[in-house]
Amino acid sequence: MTDTEVVVVGGGSTGCGVARDLAMRGVDVTLVEQGNLTHGTTGRMHGLLHSGGRYAVSDQSSAQECIAENRVLRDIADHCVEMTGGQFVQLEGDPDEYFEEKLAGCRECGIPVEVLSGQQAREEEPYLTKSVKRAIRVPDGAVDPFRLCVANAASAEEHGARIETHAEVVAVLKNGTQVTGVEVRHDSGPGKREHRRAGERETITADHVVNAAGAWAGQLGEMAGADVAVRPSKGAMVVTNCRQVDTVINRCRPKGDADIVVPHEATAILGTTDVEVDDPEDYPEEQWEVDLLIDELSKLVPILGEARTVRSFWGVRPLYEPPGAATEDPTDITRDYFLLDHADRDDLAGLTTIVGGKFTTYRLMAESVADHVCGKLGVSADCKTADVPLPGSEDFSVLREYMDEFGLRSPVGRRSVQRLGSRADEVLTTDGPNPVLCDCEAVTRAEVRDAIEGSGTDLNAVRIRTRASMGNCQGGFCCHRMAAELHPEYDESQSREALDELFQERWKGQRHALWGEQLSQAALNYALHATTMNRDRDPAEGDGTLDFGRFDSGAPNRPEETEARDGD
Amino acid sequence: MAIEDDVVVVGGGLAGMVAALAAARQGAGVRVLSHADSTLQSASGLVDVLGYPAAAGDRNAVASGRGSEAVGERPAENGVGDGTTENGVGDGTTENGVGDETTENGVGGGTACGPVADPFDAIPDLPERHPYRTVGVETVREALALFDEATGNLYRGGHTDRNALVPTHGGTVKPTARYPATVAEGLASDDRPTLLVGFETVTDFDAPLAADHLRAAGVPFEVRGATVRFPGEFRADAARTRLADALDANERVERVRDGGGRGAGGSYSTTLPARRALAAAVEPHLDGAERVGFPALLGQHETEAVLADLEAELGAAVFEVPTGSPSVPGMRLAGALRRACREAGVRFTTGNPVVNYETTGNGEQDGEIAAVRVDRNGATVPFHAAEFVLATGGLVGKGVDSDRESVREPIFDCHVPHPEDRYDWFADGAFGDHPFARFGVAVDDDLRPLDSAGDATFPNLRAAGAVLGGYDFAAEKSGSGVSLATGLAAGRAAAREVFQ
């Protein structure tokens, strides 16, 4: 008797998608993730919901999958998707042939397109450069990968799955040539993460293990004794403080760095670079990448040259090549996904690896994994994930109407309901007052508490669920407010440690945006936390030897206290 | 007709107002030009002089205990970008911003870095180009004396040279030299049992959490926290200033009370003056506490009366815990200093930014500053004077600006020493030893900004406050003190030149 039927390793979009799919088919699933949900590539992508246009020339089968899944996600994940539309923009001097190829490719793949004149393109996107020659309009969109991933995990849990975050796989268990489970190391014990709670190891036996570890899939394969040649490739993204564009702007030319701007919530995300790295955990985040994105993309949208950027982040693409391909340039490695049946491939039963692929097609990838695993387990059940909406996307349109009920001012209410979708009612109905904790992103106490309920003391998990601390101030004004919500359920030292962790995480990305307004903001945050709160010299973090008696205890003769008056 | 004053001070924050006051007290005709609200509105209202010896980069387990990212990795090489060699006196290029303090103090000042009990003792040990060293410890004392006199009853702490430890809204304590009278009953070296009171909608101060934190910091008194609803019907996002107004006016507010046991007749409402209603909400939590701390919103104008009424109702001492923006104590301080300035004859012209300047000479570098120009809806208006004080603030107040390539002082284009590579402007940990925290103009002994060659940029321009480089006010807790001392010195020097 095993602990669970299937262990899924990896809490990114693919892993969560696999867990949901299997759970909906009645399979008992346990998902383990070394960090937060979205810890890897999912949490570090540009938020593009592909129309398929980007692959319409180079990889038409991927393009076709993208447009199909694009339509599915609009249905099942409405509250995670914003259909902004997109343009492939040709500038004066960009090759005509490529534009024509792109147009033809889109049509061949069934991607709805429309050709815009330069003038029409600029009417839609006034900040485009005047040297726009023409553009192809495509149904690109923006998607919140955090929300989508969390919703998949929540759905899986609703269907009986166990989701363990902060549970790193330290060994793959085998019995001869049969994989029989995994051993994990919990950061803070099973269940929700709690700072300052001791971790432990746990053995989880299973009939089948799915390796959905993304950029870490090679390392997991190695633990099992299988060679999985993941070729991690890093990409940088720069986040601006407002939406310079309202549609996805792609440069229409053959593949290259720095050719896309995605409007995302209240920001725009500039992407990206493509450089192979050795270690998905440890690679250089470089200044040239930030400068390249700004300089190159301001040729497309000139105001980006002056834009305030709030941070930059890097993601690692889990690219995969079948043995023997040995592509030189990582930008030439296929973006296709691969399902590796290790029983066939390595004579290692009970293990399946899913690698490569794209965020937009995560559901399709999950479906093929679930089909495969169900085949192995002898389960016959149909996939439902393309038809059943995710938690938050049920009856969404109805809810837009009555956000006033929650007593929130309209921009706050609107943004809360957009994030929460059909969960708004459940989350925002509170007994006490519901003040805004994060002003930049309009996140209220109720939403933060709901996220804490889901994720314990991990404020970065709260952040990705709510967007709190992701705006202009990068947490300067709200990190401590978020941490305060942990107390008294969690004790003061846990709250303090969670605050420090979030504050440091927010600082990390901001370091790549420290000039102009954001340097001023950083100096203000530093002043608020170090000067006003004295968090940098917190005596509670010290050795406890602060001699209070050496300091002023008040004037010897306090001024006489005024007698009570009856002024009312 | 040209506008002409003896002294024009650019910037209306702490340094600017003190400079104006000091110059006016010497008989000069002074005008303050200020654009937006100063950073006083965002600061706690505490007047720090020196809380810690200059940073050594080993502050706090926060930064160092996280393992992967080391703090203060590149100590000494930071000055490199500037292309200057070793610092001599008056060179002011490498030394002022960046590297050498790190090395210097990493050795000597290091261990555990507890707070400084007597800031005046510690000042002589600061790096040579620290603004305190430039003006001298006597000037710091004189500046505090001026401050005490100008703020009158509003501030305490002048009875001793020692720092006080004041509870912060984050639950720590921090060393400060002067504190608002409203904070006086809350000092951490006082052992009376304490109740902290927070409000459901005042999200920057969680009283039970702050109380637990203070206990973890080892304070010598018993402390508990309670969260209550601020009496009256206020929106959940009502500003702290709105709540302060309600206490100022002692508005009558609805008070809903439970009518006894559950289901026994529901609830009834009554109206009470806001102060009494607040005391009534707090009273059930008192439980022997001899002093009660609230987030700093106990009235913007009638603060003394608000405190007195609360103390009378509660039978306990009442104090405020300072917060960040919007800071009611900061606003009170700004108001008090503005009054003192006005009484001394200082004129204020507010609401428009100073954008550039005119010189007397032909070549910019040769002459003196003849006027600064204010932008008024696109038109520029010159303000003439004999002497000028630059008190526009640092990075926070935007007296120091930057882009991807460089750091500059935007009005006079004074030289701001900084490493060439912007990735050398910060440390890797959030509380690391940040070079950016020391960005600002370098000055000579008379506070005149120096150009890149180390010469005074203009003979009649002096700088004061956070626009000065060479110190990290956040790490040292020295921001207000530097503003006061350099403001006094710059204002006095300007007046001296006027009458020479």
Nearest residue, CB atoms, A556 vs list B159, B163, B172: B159
Mark whether A150 and A209 lie in a shared domain.
yes
For residue A294, the chain B residue with the least C-alpha distance is B404
Q: Which domain holds residue A444?
A: 430-538
Query: From the candidates A517, A519, A543, which should be mutated to test the interface with B, based on the most B CB atoms within 10 A?
Result: A519
- Count of H-run helices and E-run strands, chain B: 14, 19
pLDDT-flagged residues of chain B (< 70): 1-2, 54-113, 256-268, 362-366
Between the CA of residue A457 and those of A153, A488, B431, B469, what are the distances in Å? 18, 12, 22, 39
State the pLDDT at residue A321: 85
Question: Between residues 90 and 119 of chain B, which touch chain A (CB distance below 8 Å)?
Answer: 112-115, 117
Nearest to A474, CA basis, from A496, A501, A503? A503
Interface touch A539/B172, C-beta < 8 Å: yes
A255 is a domain residue: yes
- Contact B425/A at CB under 8 A: yes
Last residue of a domain, one of A319, A343, A362: A319
- CATH 3.50.50.60 range(s) for chain B read 7-153+331-499
The per-residue pLDDT for range A358-377, each reduced to its tens digit, is 999 999 999 999 999 999 99
Between the CA of residue B15 and those of A319, B25, B345, B392, what are the distances in Å? 57, 15, 17, 9
Mark whether A194 and A259 lie in a shared domain.
no
- Contact B5/A at CB under 8 A: no
With a pLDDT cut of 90, the percent of chain A lying above it is 85
CA–CA dist A357, A230 (Å, integer): 12
CATH number at residue A209: 3.50.50.60
Token reading at B35: 């654009």
Mark whether A359 and A446 lie in a shared domain.
no
Mark whether A487 and A462 lie in a shared domain.
yes
Q: How many CB atoms lie within 10 A of CB A131?
A: 15
The per-residue pLDDT for range A193-212, each reduced to its tens digit, is 999 999 999 999 999 999 99
For residue B63, the chain A residue with the least C-alpha distance is A504
A410 is a domain residue: no
For residue A478, the chain B residue with the least C-alpha distance is B204
Interface touch B395/A504, C-beta < 8 Å: no
CA–CA dist A566, B272 (Å, integer): 13
Contacts of A155 (CB under 8 A, 6+ apart): A20, A23, A24, A388, A390, A391
Mark whether A135 and A247 lie in a shared domain.
yes
- Contact B409/A at CB under 8 A: no
A62 is a domain residue: no
Q: How many CB atoms lie within 10 A of CB A547?
A: 12
How many angstroms away from the CA of B378 is the closest CA of chain A? 21
The per-residue pLDDT for range B359-392, each reduced to its tens digit, is 987 655 568 999 999 999 999 999 999 999 999 9
For residue A556, the chain B residue with the least C-alpha distance is B159
> Which chain B residues are within 8 Å of A514, Cβ to Cβ?
422, 425-426, 436
Q: Read off the pLDDT of each residue in A468-494 and give the average, rounded to a whole number.
A: 97
User: At residue A136, does pLDDT exceed 60?
Assistant: yes
CATH T-level topology, domain B7-153+331-499 = FAD/NAD(P)-binding domain (3.50.50)
Q: Where are the alpha helices (DSSP H) in B110-199?
A: 119-122, 131-135, 137-151
Question: Angle B328-343/B240-249 helices, nearest 10 degrees?
Answer: 70
Helix (H) or strand (E) holding B279: helix B274-282
State the pLDDT at residue A404: 55
Contacts of A405 (CB under 8 A, 6+ apart): none
Token reading at B384: 């003439």
Residues A557, A563, A567, CA angle at the centre, nearest 5°? Answer: 145
Mark whether A109 and A165 lie in a shared domain.
no
Interface touch A558/B184, C-beta < 8 Å: yes
Mark whether A24 and A170 lie in a shared domain.
yes
- Contact B428/A at CB under 8 A: yes
A47 is a domain residue: no
Mark whether A354 and A493 lie in a shared domain.
no
Residues B24, B26, B27, CA angle at the centre, nearest 5°? Answer: 65
Mark whether A534 and A443 lie in a shared domain.
yes
- Contact B233/A at CB under 8 A: no
DSSP A154: H
Q: Where are the alpha helices (DSSP H) in B116-267?
A: 119-122, 131-135, 137-151, 207-216, 240-249
The per-residue pLDDT for range B331-366, each reduced to its tens digit, is 999 999 999 999 999 999 999 999 999 998 765 556
A95 is a domain residue: yes
Interface touch A436/B237, C-beta < 8 Å: yes
CB A105 within 8 A of CB A252: no
CB A498 within 8 A of CB A453: no
Nearest residue, CB atoms, B395 vs list A477, A519, A565: A519
- Residue for token pair 């526009």: B392
For residue B192, the chain A residue with the least C-alpha distance is A553
Nearest residue, CB atoms, A531 vs list B156, B184, B473: B473
Interface touch B62/A500, C-beta < 8 Å: yes
Phi-psi region of B469 (alpha: psi -120 to 50; beta: other; left: phi over 0): beta
- Residue type at B42 in one-letter notation: S
> Which chain B residues are within 8 Å of A564, Cβ to Cβ?
308-309, 311-313
Mark whether A95 and A237 lie in a shared domain.
yes
Q: Give the ipTM of the model, two decimals please.
A: 0.92
Nearest residue, CB atoms, A533 vs list B117, B170, B215: B170
Mark whether A239 and A315 lie in a shared domain.
yes
Q: Say how many domains are in chain A.
A: 3
A437 is a domain residue: yes
State the pLDDT at residue B257: 62
Interface touch B190/A553, C-beta < 8 Å: yes
- Contact B422/A at CB under 8 A: yes
Nearest residue, CB atoms, A496 vs list B213, B218, B308: B213
Nearest residue, CB atoms, A552 vs list B42, B157, B475: B157
Mark whether A135 and A237 lie in a shared domain.
yes
